[in-house]
Amino acid sequence: MPELELPKDDFVRDIIRDDLSKGSHQAVITRFPPEPNGYLHIGHAKSICLNFGVAKEFGGHCHLRFDDTNPAKEEQEFIDSIKEDVSWLGFDWGENLFHASDYFEQLYSWAESLINKGLAYVCDLSAEEMREYRGTLTEPGRDSPYRNRSVEENLSLFREMRAGGFPEGSKTLRAKIDMASGNMNLRDPALYRIKHAAHPRTGSTWKIYPTYDYAHGQSDAIEGITHSLCTLEFADHRPLYDWLIEHLTVPARPRQYEFARLNLTHTVLSKRVLMRLVSEGHVTGWDDPRMPTIRGMRRRGVPPEALKDFIGRLAISKSDSTIEMQMLDHSIREHLNEHAERRMAVLKPLKLTIRNWPKGQTEMLEVPNHPGRPELGTRKIPFSGSLWIEADDFMEDPPRKFFRLGPGREVRLRFAYLVTCEDFIKNETGEVTEIICTYDPATAGGNAPDGRKVKGIIHWVSAVHAIEAEVLLTSQLFKSENPSAGGDPIEDIDANSLEVVKEVKLEPELASALAGYPVQFERLGYFNRDPAQSQLAFIRTIGLRDSWAKTQTKG
């Protein structure tokens, strides 16, 4: 699969090219600014690829900056996981790791300058009262009764807020802009709020914390960000971003540009909903392989190259759209088909005994690791007279177009011999428990010297040498294309989206499988060793069928 190549003619690149040609900037500096209050999801991956991608393309660099302004929801666990996820995707911020908390003192100083200019005031309204005074989309807001406090009183109150002199939530520092503005974000937005919570980096030093809207643009200015790229929901925040830059003496004047966020069918990328999935126990954690988090996709075995390939196929535009999940699946399959080595495993074991096999004999078969890539070498797998096959590969009374095993039917055992079903054994409940076959010793490698053809090829594992493991079979977590369409997406969860299969039979080579290097279980799909379990276990990364690719070909 080729290295990531994002579209070269989107509006973001057009803006950058124009800025560079006019000399507005000498170099491109972007940033990826996550809030460390959760794990990253695939929507963040789009932003990561765009910000790091355009910086590299135009010879600049991208900062990783944590907008850590709300200690009540932020944890070191999230900070560490974000670093790991960005690195896993293949991006390196080098020396450009920053935190909004690095700038707390400067941000506080600028807040005092707004007070001195009469552009900010301390407000005693409660959160509920502020919502009431704010007005609606059709009605203007009302001025706070504290809006006209003197500069001296505001400075004194703000400094006492910093010193911890007031209860949490009792006061805020608000910008004095326009309570009648048609843009709700300009109706005297909060710049600081009181929070008596320890911060992961600054501890208990601060009793007040800047809001995201206040800290974000000023952090961009401090770092000299040239192009502040964010998703469309922040478009209405841009006038506040610009107002603050205009009224503060900042070292640079960054510009904000918005692009469409990633929306996928059959999933939800709302951080609030993802948090509920975890906290309410609907999934096993942030790394649940059904989750759209980068951590969940990593555990499932999705290669970073496949994720970047998928994102590279997306348009960078200003129009919201929803992408079919099958498009992501196609990128995953395409990469794994090219790179994943092949192995044999049996999920639903049924015993097959070869009646005429020499007693106690084991034959070591040398087989390719990948049918189309001889450079990946070969391996040896044991073959004996006692095998496991898939239960679905046998039918007692098969229909005409069933080309696998049935009474009197002959099939090819993958890499081995042709075998013919002579008999079968049932238990007391009528379930078939064993197939009795004979093999043709002249068909080593699966080819008949007399030229006879068989249509069925089935995989197998030697029962004498098989190892056992647990396998997690996952499917889409939500049943509907748009899980939120009916209201609460939690109600759309598919209760059958995770199946645990015990005592799966594997060829011995799989004992040394490594997490992060998925393999194809022949005829079954692609599977990754589960890094979250100490015992041998595998997760299905994705099945073999690719309906999306066929649809695109027909279209």
Longest Cα pair distance anywhere in the chain, in angstroms?
A: 102
CA pair distance 444, 362, nearest whole angstrom? 14
Residue tagged active-site, from 73, 147, 195, 271: 271
Residue bearing tokens 């598919």: 494
pLDDT for position 547: 58
Render pLDDT for 456-465 as a digit per residue (tens, 0 to 9). Answer: 999 999 999 9
The H-assigned helical ranges of 117-227 are: 127-134, 151-162, 212-223
Q: Is 402 left (phi over 0), alpha (psi -120 to 50) or beta?
A: beta
pLDDT for position 545: 84
Average pLDDT on 378-398 reads: 97
pLDDT for position 1: 44
Q: Are 191 and 173 in contact (CB under 8 A)?
A: yes
Find the range with the poorest average confidence among 169-173, 179-183, 453-457: 453-457
> Among residues 310, 312, 271, 276, which one has the least CA distance to residue 292?
271
> Among residues 181, 118, 128, 188, which one has the least CA distance to residue 155?
118
Render pLDDT for 367-383 as a digit per residue (tens, 0 to 9). Answer: 999 999 999 999 999 99
- What is the distance, to the nearest Å, from the Cα of residue 136 to the centroid of all Cα atoms in its chain? 36
549 has pLDDT over 60: no
* Terminal-residue alpha carbon distance, the chain: 23
Instruction: For the chain, list the domains and their CATH numbers.
Output: 11-259 (3.40.50.620), 271-341+469-554 (2.40.240.10), 345-459 (2.40.240.10)
Render pLDDT for 263-276 as a digit per residue (tens, 0 to 9). Answer: 999 999 999 999 99
Residue tagged active-site, from 13, 35, 404, 529: 35
> Among residues 177, 174, 176, 213, which one has the least CA distance to residue 194?
174
> Among residues 417, 425, 456, 420, which one has the least CA distance to residue 437?
420
The H-assigned helical ranges of 89-187 are: 104-116, 127-134, 151-162
Report the half-sphere exposure of 75 (CA within 13 A, side-chain side). 7
Question: What is the pTM (predicted TM-score) of this model?
Answer: 0.92
The token pair at 299 is: 């555990």
Task: Give the DSSP per-residue string, 319-387.
Answer: S---B-HHHHHHHHHHHHHHHPPEE-EESSEEEEEETTSPTT--EEEEEESSTT-GGG-EEEEEE-SEE
Residue tagged active-site, from 56, 83, 207, 261: 261
CA pair distance 282, 471, nearest whole angstrom? 20
pLDDT for position 551: 54
Average pLDDT on 93-104 reads: 97
**H or E element in which residue 477 lies:** none
217 has pLDDT over 60: yes
554 has pLDDT over 60: no
The token pair at 79 is: 């900070």
Render pLDDT for 481-536 as a digit per residue (tens, 0 to 9). Answer: 999 997 899 999 999 999 999 999 999 999 999 999 999 999 999 999 999 999 99
223 is catalytic: no
> Among residues 166, 165, 220, 170, which one has the least CA distance to residue 190?
170
555 has pLDDT over 70: no
DSSP state of 420: E
6 has pLDDT over 50: no
261 is catalytic: yes
Render pLDDT for 58-91 as a digit per residue (tens, 0 to 9). Answer: 999 999 999 999 999 999 999 999 999 999 999 9
* Averaged pLDDT of the chain: 95
pLDDT for position 389: 98
Other CB atoms within a 10 A radius of the CB of residue 103 amount to 20
Report the half-sphere exposure of 422 (CA within 13 A, side-chain side). 12
The token pair at 124 is: 């005693």
17 is catalytic: no
